[in-house]
Structure 1
């Protein structure tokens, strides 16, 4: 089936490499690389579109865009996992690390050409021995590098006039809609911070995102909203249970049952009625009179 691809301007020959996604380490994705750069494949989904090309109709209306990606995003989860498995003081050969990813020799050679010691020093401690690189993951350097990426993304958003919209995506300030309305909203720094971190978080794990939020002082608004929604749901459930209890208590059957129980308690506490003879006997002085049962007791 034919598809529409948008490629970089330079004519390149790409090799496919399958690596774990930097956000979700359980999913493997296809990436592409030449001798200098890594690329990722993005899809712009258009469910109800088709394409005309020459005399042909292409049923798949999606657009596939191959864009550059910083290869260090792909390397962070790989080196980070090695750091958890082994002592933090151990250096590992880059060749051995790539061999553990089940890559073929061609892919490993391309990776070794791209990942030089200067690039890897952004996220790791690097030593070279006989033209082979040995690396050790450095979380402090990694967080500094992520902060630098955050600032670069924020500057790019401000330069091109992006702003967040109500659908959770981004729009451009000077975009003119069909109604010829131009947005004049002023973007503050907090919005740019949120947008930049939202973009960056698509390429890092949740633990790095949380630590980055702490360093940059950016609150997790989405998490706060989820907590508020959960609290509201708990309160609604509690109110609903209280309403059901009140309705149950006010139901005719419940009232009748309570009245019956109250009547039984009253009957139990109520003194029995005495006959005329019993009332007369109660008035008689019984001092010196023995109880009839005393005549039947054994005497020692």
Structure 2
């Protein structure tokens, strides 16, 4: 979305939930959609065109660089107030007479993106927004009051926000420029049983469970006898009736 007057680029994000309405003044807005409009740096959209033309390794007029048959309106980016005046952040400039020529610069782009990350970190700290692994995602409240990796957490979080506007290749280059190692997902720590479930192959038992059905395995080991049980075992039980005989049903006397 391009603004009028002082031409400026805006990013519009829609927040929408089903069956919601809003009170606006004295009226009810039946459409529950909310639009968030934020000023956006046009260099983010000009950058892919500059990178593409930079592969030729020569200076070119910017109006010949920002051209797209699929998106003819892309040329309007050069009408933004900040576009021409800030191109030096991502490109080298050469002036011949009254004409200016530009060539993409990886070094300048990295420095420009690094400043974007640092400003984002400063804004997060100013708003007292805590980020990182020690944060409850629902409330953005840090679990631990202090963390040795707090600064790195902020850098990674800000890098993630900036990466939404640049290519994956450029995002990796920026991560390296910030001096942050790339994080790898712990796929190797996944339980073997879970890996088998995700596979298309039939699941087979990892062990022979039939051995548990043998008589030797079913027999329980003898329990240790207590001192009272040992002394009772030594008593002479000759002529003594078993305890079960006192609870057996009585038999009827036979008729004479």
TM interval, shorter chain, is: 0.5 to 0.7
Q: 1:74 aligns with which of 45, 53, 68?
A: 45
Corresponding residue number in structure 2 for 1:207: 169
CA–CA separation in structure 2 for the residues paired with 1:134 and 1:79: 12
> 1:1-300 alignment to 2 at 5 Å?
31-34=1-4, 35-54=6-25, 56-84=27-55, 87-88=56-57, 90-100=58-68, 102-104=71-73, 107=76, 110-111=79-80, 113-116=81-84, 118-164=85-131, 165-167=135-137, 171=140, 185-186=145-146, 188-221=150-183, 224-225=184-185, 228-229=186-187, 231-232=189-190, 236-237=194-195, 244=205, 246-247=207-208
CA deviations 1:174-225 (Å, max 9, x no partner) are: xxxxxxxxx883462122122211211111111111112222232344xx23
CA–CA separation in structure 2 for the residues paired with 1:53 and 1:242: 59
Cα displacement (A) at 1:236: 4.3
Instruction: Name the TM-score, length of structure 2 as normaliser.
Output: 0.65
Alpha-carbon distance change, 219 to 48 in structure 1, aligned in 2, over 3 angstroms: farther
Instruction: Tell me which protein shows more strand as a share of its residues.
Output: 1
Cα displacement (A) at 1:123: 0.6
Cα displacement (A) at 1:109: 6.0
Contact 2:110 2:174 in 1 (8 A): yes
Instruction: Name the TM-score, length of structure 1 as normaliser.
Output: 0.56
CA deviations 1:9-65 (Å, max 9, x no partner) are: xxxxxxxxxxxxxxxxxxxxxx32443532111223344531123554323222101
Alpha-carbon distance change, 220 to 234 in structure 1, aligned in 2, over 3 angstroms: farther
Runs of 4+ deviating beyond 6 Å:
238-242
Deviates more, 1:144-153 or 1:75-84: 75-84
Structure 1, unaligned stretches of length 5 or more? 1-30, 174-182, 251-300
Structure 2, unaligned stretches of length 5 or more? 212-256
SS class of match (1:143): helix
Corresponding residue number in structure 2 for 1:26: none
SS class of match (1:65): strand
Contact 2:130 2:140 in 1 (8 A): yes
Cα displacement (A) at 1:122: 0.7
Instruction: Tell me which protein shows more helix as a share of its residues.
Output: 1
CA deviations 1:141-175 (Å, max 9, x no partner) are: 101111111111111111111113443x77378xx
Q: In the comparison of the two structures, how many residue pairs are matched?
A: 203
Cα displacement (A) at 1:242: 8.9
CA deviations 1:109-137 (Å, max 9, x no partner) are: 624x5322x41111101123454432111
CA–CA separation in structure 2 for the residues paired with 1:39 and 1:163: 27
Cα displacement (A) at 1:92: 1.8
Higher relative contact order (CA 8 A, sep 6+): 1
